[in-house]
Amino acid sequence: MDRFWPHEIYLHPDFFFLYLLPPIALDAGYALPNQAFFENFGTIILYAVVGTIWNIVSIGFILFMASPFFSISLPWLDLFLFSTFISAVDPVAVLSVFEEIKVNRLLYICVFGESLLNDAVTIVMYHALAAMVKIGPENLEADDFIKALISFFLVSFGGILIGIVGAALTGLATKYSNKQQVLQPLICLLIPYLSYLIAESVHFSGILAIVLCGLMMKQYLAGNLSNQSLVTTSYFLKTLSTSCEAIIFVFLGLSTVSKKHDWNSVFIGTTLFACLICRFTGTYFLTCLANRGRHRKINLVDQFIMAYGGLRGAICYGLVMTLDEEAVLAKEMFTSTTIIVILTTVFLQGATIKPLVRLLDVEIEPDNQETLVEQVISEVRDDIMEGIEAVAGVKRSQWFRQKLSHFNNDYILPCMVRNQRTRADELLAVYDKQ
């Protein structure tokens, strides 16, 4: 192979962060079901934030305890940096099976929402630990850890704020470009991408910015774009995202035949064990906490599928390839181990998830669509419940979401949307589908 391609092929960090990552994150945020996401927001945040931190800390601790058995000596900070990007889940194969079998919406949204925010948390933590590695563990002081913790929240909040502004600009741009429908799909890509670049340039979280932008701009596009433009935008973003993931996996395939490999069987085995055991323990423990405050509980079968569906993929590989070889001397070993973890989870867990879903008899979402009468009853029930709560002075767990929804419908949407759909229009849309 050296005779045909003498130079080493690798994924350049700038190419990954500037061109491949943004379309993947934008499509994920745009495709996320808004209502289901906010209905289960607390549970998803618990999995994505607390669960990700649990995986990073526990995997790093297991690797640190097993470090005397490795063939080389590794600094503890390098091990925790490795545990950060190896915790990035990418259950694309699992979600495709869920869509094919049509599993219950709760399971689907928990896996989808967790994977989306997990990537954001992982990348923020990765940048923080990578900066510490460059400083050197021997030069770190207690103040550095406090600064890193404060930076985590500031970077996240800044990215969220820029994403919200980007979504508002997208809504306004599409509102006043109704005569240029050809440009509207490009606007839906360029403004979120600009939000990502601005966030990164001021050292905020670019991935959170573009995810929030994609998540929030969807409600504005429904009233500003024609049905044809909406379909075009959706397919355009999905095609671009799929192409970027395909490019990353091409680099992954090329890396498997690379000359630069450091196969450490003990390190690989320990990593596979740690990823599996930490994923299952974290999922079961956090679900136990989440179920205490949930009306609809997450059953054991769904918990097992969620834990088993923690595949590693494009984000995981992209991050390991961005490591600085001078700062992380074990980059080749980390890269080789990451490739094995990705291939094992994708081909073993990804290939067996469909038989497991059928074998465990996972609850399926009903095929029948909601009728007009059911829609009216649902709306009337919600209004009656709000009235009773106001009189009794009782607040349900969803009261904040309802207040936010009313504020959005009454004040935000009229400014951002050209043709705002009323509740009567929504009922007529349900009637047209009958």
pLDDT digits (tens, 9 = 90+) for 166-198: 999 999 999 888 777 788 888 999 999 999 999
Do 265 and 393 have their domain in common?
no
Give pLDDT, residue 6. 47
Count CB-CB contacts under 10 A for residue 258: 16
Identify the domain boundary among 331, 359, 387. Answer: 359
Give pLDDT, residue 56. 95
Do 355 and 380 have their domain in common?
no
CATH code assigned at 143: 1.20.1530.20
As a whole number of angstroms, the distance between CA 173 and CA 33 comes to 23
As a whole number of angstroms, the distance between CA 88 and CA 245 comes to 15
Identify the domain boundary among 307, 333, 359. Answer: 359
Do 295 and 421 have their domain in common?
no
Per DSSP, what are the bridge partners of residue 89?
312
Instruction: Report pTM.
Output: 0.84
Do 307 and 380 have their domain in common?
no
Burial of 312 (0-12, 13-18, 19+ CB in 10 A): buried
Using an 8 Å Cβ cutoff, are 130 and 320 in contact? no
The lowest-confidence range among 243-247, 275-279, 287-291 is 243-247
Give pLDDT, residue 361. 87
Residue that has been written with the tokens 């009782």 in this structure: 394
Q: If residue 419 lies in a helix (H) or strand (E), which one and from where to where?
A: none
Measured torsion, CA atoms of residues 195, 196, 201, 203, in degrees rounded to the nearest 10: 110
Do 405 and 348 have their domain in common?
no
Q: Is the pLDDT of residue 290 over 60?
A: yes
Residue 5 belongs to a domain: no
Question: What confidence tier does 211 reach under pLDDT thresholds 50, 70, 90?
Answer: very high
Residue 48 belongs to a domain: yes
Residue 7 belongs to a domain: no
Question: What confidence tier does 5 reach under pLDDT thresholds 50, 70, 90?
Answer: very low
| Structural domains in the chain (count) | 2
| Model pLDDT for residues 33-63, shown as the tens digit of each residue | 888 888 888 899 999 999 999 999 999 999 9
Helix 314-321 / helix 105-135 crossing angle, nearest 10 deg? 10
Do 57 and 98 have their domain in common?
yes
**Where do runs of H (alpha helix) occur along 176-205?**
184-201
Give pLDDT, residue 10. 66
Q: If residue 105 lies in a helix (H) or strand (E), which one and from where to where?
A: helix 105-135
Residue 102 belongs to a domain: yes
Do 149 and 254 have their domain in common?
yes
Residue 389 belongs to a domain: yes
Do 311 and 395 have their domain in common?
no
| Model pLDDT for residues 201-210, shown as the tens digit of each residue | 998 989 899 9
